[in-house]
Each structure stands twice: as structure tokens, then as C-alpha cells.
């Protein structure tokens, strides 16, 4: 079954709603220039109040020190870090105590075999302008599943997520702006419709097997 990550959470109420609606994971953005940035103290309170079985992922961009990222993740209570910059395979390998999700921007120059250099892991494939809600040509991601667990992001909404599930069969889908009323504020109904669309697509794929 396709997992669902609701990213860019900034409020406890939205985190709880996402979890109760069936989201497998929430994303907390620690990149200071993001409109969805969340203070560490606020993030810790959100994590503390979450129900069990919800994975919490922290988003980082070109942090200079992987050891500092790892220490921060452990101290706040993150289960994984999602790296959105130019982090190298060596950088990623230095983070051991939490899972690493390496993000790649997909454009006409992207090649899926780029993932090979990072070893077998978890990769997030995003549009060329992350955070803008713009999607990418999904055909460019064909074959990516051979290199690890693939998460598809970028421009996903309740209206198109079923298409990406049935086309690419990703490990997970990731949404932020597609389920918001404004940056950082989630819309309950949009989250519900998004998760339900993923579930329906999974059932359709299973029925076609």
C-alpha cells in the first residue's frame, strides 16, 4: 500500500488531524527561509503529542554539518531526515542514528541512475522548484524503483495523486501545498480527500493484478 506523508506541518492540530485521517508520516520543515519553517521547540511539542505509529521526518537544506543534523534529529525526536540540497553520498552516509531520505529535483537533465551512487535507500523525487506546488514529468521517474524506496512529491493534489500511484507505484507520496488553505496551514477536507484518493488508487491497482 502507498504510504502518505503530509509535509510542512506547523501546528499540532494539523498534525493530529493528519494522523487521524490515516497519514503514515508528517514532515516538519527546519529550513529557516521556508514559509513552513517550524521552531525546534514547537516541533518538539508537536512530536510529543502525536499518536504512536506516525513517522516524523525533518526537512533540511544544505546544512554544513551532518553530525549536527543527526544530533538535532535525535534530540527533537525525529525518525528520519529529508535532505533537499546538494548533499553528497558521503554526507548522507555520516548520518546513522536516523533514516535518511535524499531528495532530488527532477527535470529534463535528471537520470534515475543518479540514485545508484547513494546506495539502496529512500529517495524523494520532487519538481525542479520544490515548495511551489509544481509537478514534474512523471515519465522521468520510470525505473527509479529499482534503486530503493521512491517517494513522489511536487504538485500533488487530491485530484491527481491517484494518477501518480497507478502510474509509478511509488513507496509513498508526499504533499504540502496541495492540502493547504495557506502555506503551513492544512485544510482538513483536502487532507481527507488526498488520503482517500491514494487508498482508492491502491485498491484499483490491486484489483488489476
* Residue 7 known to be catalytic: yes
CA angle 200, 203, 208 (to 5 degrees): 130
The rounded distance, in Å, linking the Cα atoms of 128 and 66 is 24
Residues of the chain with pLDDT under 50: none
* CB-based burial, 9-22: b 16+ in 10 Å, e otherwise: bbeeebbbbbbebe
* Residue 92 known to be catalytic: no
CATH classification at residue 79: 3.20.20.70
State the pTM of this model: 0.94
pLDDT for 128: 73
Range of the domain at 115: 3-208
pLDDT for 45: 96
Domain count for the chain: 1
Contact of 49 with 16, CB cutoff 8 Å: yes
* CB-based burial, 180-207: b 16+ in 10 Å, e otherwise: beeebebbeebbbbbbebbbebbeeeee
Nearest C-alpha neighbor of 175 from the set 13, 49, 14:
14
Identify the active-site residue in 7, 14, 17, 174. Answer: 7
Identify the active-site residue in 14, 17, 126, 174. Answer: 126
In the chain, % of residues over pLDDT 70: 97
Amino acid at each position: 500500500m502507498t504510504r502518505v506523508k503530509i509535509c510542512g506541518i506547523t501546528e499540532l492540530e494539523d498534525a493530529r488531524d493528519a494522523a487521524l485521517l490515516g497519514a503514515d508520516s508528517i514532515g516538519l520543515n527546519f529550513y529557516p527561509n521556508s514559509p513552513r519553517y517550524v521552531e525546534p521547540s514547537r516541533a518538539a511539542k508537536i512530536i510529543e503529542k502525536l499518536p504512536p505509529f506516525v513517522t516524523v521526518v525533518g526537512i533540511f537544506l544544505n546544512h554544513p554539518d551532518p553530525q549536527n543534523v543527526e544530533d538535532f534529529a535525535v534530540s527533537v525526536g525525529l525518525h528520519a531526515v529529508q535532505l533537499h540540497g546538494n548533499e553528497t553520498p558521503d554526507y548522507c552516509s555520516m548520518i546513522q542514528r536516523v533514516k535518511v531520505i535524499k531528495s532530488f529535483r527532477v527535470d529534463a537533465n535528471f537520470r534515475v541512475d543518479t540514485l545508484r551512487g547513494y546506495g539502496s535507500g529512500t529517495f524523494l523525487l520532487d519538481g525542479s522548484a520544490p515548495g511551489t506546488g509544481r509537478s514534474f514529468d512523471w515519465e522521468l521517474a520510470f525505473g527509479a524503483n529499482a534503486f530503493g524506496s521512491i517517494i513522489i512529491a511536487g504538485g500533488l493534489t487530491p485530484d491527481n495523486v491517484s494518477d501518480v500511484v497507478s502510474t509509478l507505484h511509488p513507496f509513498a507520496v508526499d504533499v504540502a501545498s496541495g492540502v493547504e488553505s495557506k502555506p503551513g496551514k492544512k485544510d482538513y477536507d483536502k487532507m481527507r480527500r488526498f488520503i482517500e484518493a491514494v487508498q482508492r488508487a491502491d485498491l484499483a491497482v490491486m484489483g488489476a493484478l
